[in-house]
Amino acid sequence: MEDFDRPTPPAPSDPAQPAPAGPPPLRRAGRLIARGSTSAFLGARRFTHAGGAGESGLSRLLEMHAFNTAGDAAFAVSLAGTLFFTVPTEQASGQVALFLVLTMLPFAVVAPLIGPFLDRFRRGRRWAIGATLAIRAFCCWVLAGAVEDESSAFYLAALGCLVASKAYGVTKAAAVPRLLPVEFTLVKANSRISLTGTAAAAISAPLAIGAAAIGAPWALRYAALLFAVGTILAILLPERVDSSVGEEKASVTQRGRGIVVPRDVVNGLRSNAGLRMITGFLTIFMAFTLREPPDSMGWSGNNTILMGLVIGAAGAGNTLGIVIGSWTKSRAPQRVVLAVLVLDVAVLIVAAAFFKWPVAALLGLNVGMCQSLGKLSLDALIQRDVAEEVRTSMFARSETLLQLGWVLGGLLGIGLFTLDVSAPLGMVITAAILLGWVTFVFARVLNPRESEATA
């Protein structure tokens, strides 16, 4: 009886029997992805809410801007595939030229009117920002259908996206000063906005490329979804974004109405216009050059890899400029903005003389750094020298001017490429034009009779 009641000892383990299997590989991979996604989300939230940004409402603007930049990246990927990569070079140049003529030229006419038009809706900035995102969501959806049907509505919808994108830049710039935390400078806020946008574009671009692999319309539908989410986030911005208490209209000429702008700010605007012109030129001209790089560049690998290398260098330069700009925010921004203009033109001349693929990558790095550093220096000048009651309007008008500089550079790039100008010669011609602009800028800077109010 005692033997019956005694507990049965466990059976000895069989060394030949395999150990119990763990969770299936797919389940483990799912857990890792979930943990990584959660960590990334929490890290991004800490970044956007740090330094009082959560309390001031700046975090909401950062989240909205992330969806905007992600949508822009998807839109750019789709257009690149539709107009550029899927057709021969000769046909691509004609399509891009037509795209620029039918979209950028009308934009050049419309752009100067954006700032004054938005000035009339200061009490509805949230809805104005939301409208720029909603318009792009609608236009991207129309573009998706136009790409499938090869409809002429393609160019009209592209124009709508372009104008709405530039209007977004103007309205966002006008809203930022209203959401600054107590301990934030304008430069620090714009640095955080730029970093947020860069990260969002880096995440969205591969997803858009994957969608475009299924079909170009799917990348556009993906962009439309991102813009739709951004529209909702724009409407949910804090109410003080709509406040216009104490604001006045800015003017950059003595003959204009409103408050005039200090001399250093005007010089900063001129310098940034030159920087944007270089960026616009290289964006268009180098894209075609690197598609079929000349033998003189010494590149024997895949052409797409070379283009990715140069674009990646430009992105790295943009981030480097943000870091340097944050460090030099109190170190004579009026000198920094002039220095980066001279540096940008000088490196363009050197690149034309020694046009090899490593030099092209260094050119991309320098252009990205100079544009970012020049813009942050301009922000510092506006914060330092422009009265608070006119600062918001100044941002709106400065963004419009800088966008026009990019448009002119892009038109110059497609024009030189259409004329079959070699890459070094094209850069020399552009550098010569910009040397004239640099001379004009420095002549104004060194003119002792020019008052602080002239433009």
Domain that holds residue 378: 246-455
In CATH, what number is assigned to the domain containing residue 209? 1.20.1250
Q: Examine the domain organization and report whether 152 and 266 are in the same domain.
A: no
- Residue 340 included in any domain: yes
Q: Distances in Å between the alpha carbon of 430 and those of 118, 373, 380, 426?
A: 33, 21, 28, 6
Is residue 188 domain-shared with residue 279, that is, in the same domain? no
Q: Residue 354 gets which letter from DSSP?
A: T
Of 205, 224, 245, the domain-final residue: 245
- Of 220, 245, 270, the one marking the end of a domain is 245
Are 115 and 256 in a shared domain? no
186 and 105, same structural domain?
A: yes
pLDDT of residue 273: 93
Helix axes 388-418, 423-445, angle to 10 degrees: 150
**pLDDT at res. 455:** 40
Walk along the chain (455 residues) and give the pLDDT tens digit of each residue.
444 455 555 555 555 555 555 556 666 656 655 555 455 555 666 666 666 666 778 888 899 999 999 999 888 888 776 665 555 555 555 666 666 665 565 566 665 666 566 656 556 778 889 999 999 999 999 988 888 777 777 778 887 887 788 778 877 877 887 888 877 777 778 888 888 888 898 898 889 888 888 887 888 999 999 999 999 999 988 887 776 655 555 555 544 455 567 888 889 999 999 999 999 899 888 877 887 788 888 888 777 788 888 888 888 888 888 888 777 655 688 888 999 999 999 999 999 999 888 999 999 999 999 998 998 888 888 877 877 667 666 776 787 788 778 878 888 887 888 788 888 999 999 999 999 999 999 998 887 665 554 44
Q: Into how many domains does the chain fold? A: 2
What's residue 348's pLDDT? 93
What are residue 6's phi and psi, to 5 degrees? -70, 135
Asked if residue 315 and residue 166 are part of one domain, the reply reads no
Kindly report the CATH number assigned to the domain that includes residue 291: 1.20.1250.20
Same domain, 172 and 257: no
Given this model, what pLDDT does residue 35 score? 57
Tell me which residue of 90, 203, 221 sits closest to 143, measured CA to CA: 221
Same domain for 452 and 306: yes
Amino acid letter, 430: T
Spatial neighbors of 196 by CB under 8 A, at least 6 apart, are 47, 48, 62, 65, 66, 69
Q: Is residue 291 part of a domain?
A: yes
Q: Tell whether 261 and 336 lie within a shared domain.
A: yes
Q: What is the pLDDT of residue 24?
A: 64
Verify that 361 and 343 share a domain, yes or no: yes
Residue 46 lies in a domain: no
Among 228, 245, 262, which residue terminates a domain?
245
The pLDDT assigned to 327 comes to 72
340 and 226 in one domain?
Answer: no
| Pairing assessment for the beta strands 259-260 and 250-251 based on DSSP bridges | parallel
Q: What is the pLDDT of residue 254?
A: 44
On whether residue 389 sits in a domain, the answer given is yes
Shared-domain flag, residues 285 and 382: yes
Taking only Cα atoms into account, the Rg of the chain, rounded to an integer number of angstroms, comes to 26
Q: At what angle do helices 263-291 and 423-445 cross, to 10 degrees?
A: 180
- What span, in angstroms and rounded, lies between the C-alpha atoms of 402 and 407? 9
